[in-house]
A and B are shown apart, each in its own frame.
Chain A
Amino acid sequence: GQQVMQIPQYQHVQEGEDFTTYCNSSTTLSNIQWYKQRPGGHPVFLIQLVKSGEVKKQKRLTFQFGEAKKNSSLHITATQTTDVGTYFCAANSGNTPLVFGKGTRLSVIA
């Protein structure tokens, strides 16, 4: 079945440093979504990308969808302690259900 590979698995950064997580698929994706899960919490939707080459920004977060619609990235500029959590990408292609990557756990050291 469809798989979505997400790297890195863990990332430790000093507060103020940047952070990026990547999502890759071997198949062309219909759309990709990003979620954030705080420790002890549940996943919360951040954004959805559907167009080839799409770039969306939310304050310090920048989301990109690759030209071939097979990869995506989430970049956080100048991390803060409030950014701590696990970031998941989730994607589908055609009529397949949404498949989640294994997530990137971000730790921010103050």
Chain B
Amino acid sequence: KAGVTQTPRYLIKTRGQQVTLSCSPISGHRSVSWYQQTPGQGLQFLFEYFSETQRNKGNFPGRFSGRQFSNSRSEMNVSTLELGDSALYLCASSFGGTVSTGELFFGEGSRLTVL
């Protein structure tokens, strides 16, 4: 079966702009979680959506938001971009979500560079 698909794979933005990233989970998976990965901080949890509801949120400012659609596809948005937002944004799909047992399936990520 198809894996987790993230688009776009690479993008360059300038400070102050906003960006929207998309994630299509594995068919049948209802949970999508988002992580920010930077060299110094590892994977930091942004938020998780399960059946269109935000179930958990990490410690990120309100500029970071997300949503999930009825087909389980998810988008995350970052407004008013800052240089420090440059990172690899990873989406992970799972059946039961991160609060339950069960592996996460990661997409290839969207690499955002903010100039």
Task: Give the interface of A toward B (CB within 8 A).
Answer: 1, 30-31, 33, 35, 41-45, 48, 50, 88, 90, 92, 94-103
The CA of A88 and the CA of B41, in the complex, are separated in Å by: 12
Q: Which residues of chain A are near B19, meaning CB under 8 Å?
A: none
The CA of A35 and the CA of B92, in the complex, are separated in Å by: 12
Taking the closest CB of chain B, its distance from the CB of A86, in whole angstroms, is: 9
Taking the closest CB of chain A, its distance from the CB of B82, in whole angstroms, is: 22
The CA of A86 and the CA of B92, in the complex, are separated in Å by: 17
The CA of A103 and the CA of B103, in the complex, are separated in Å by: 17
Is B106 a contact of A92 with CB atoms below 8 Å? no
DSSP class of A's interface residues: helix, strand, loop or mixed?
loop
Count of residues in B whose CB is under 8 Å from the partner chain:
24
The CA of A25 and the CA of B47, in the complex, are separated in Å by: 21
Is B99 a contact of A97 with CB atoms below 8 Å? yes
Taking the closest CB of chain B, its distance from the CB of A95, in whole angstroms, is: 5
Is A42 a contact of B42 with CB atoms below 8 Å? no
Is B101 a contact of A31 with CB atoms below 8 Å? yes
Partner of B42, one of A45, A96, A100: A100
Whether B107 is near chain A, meaning CB under 8 Å from some CB there, is: yes
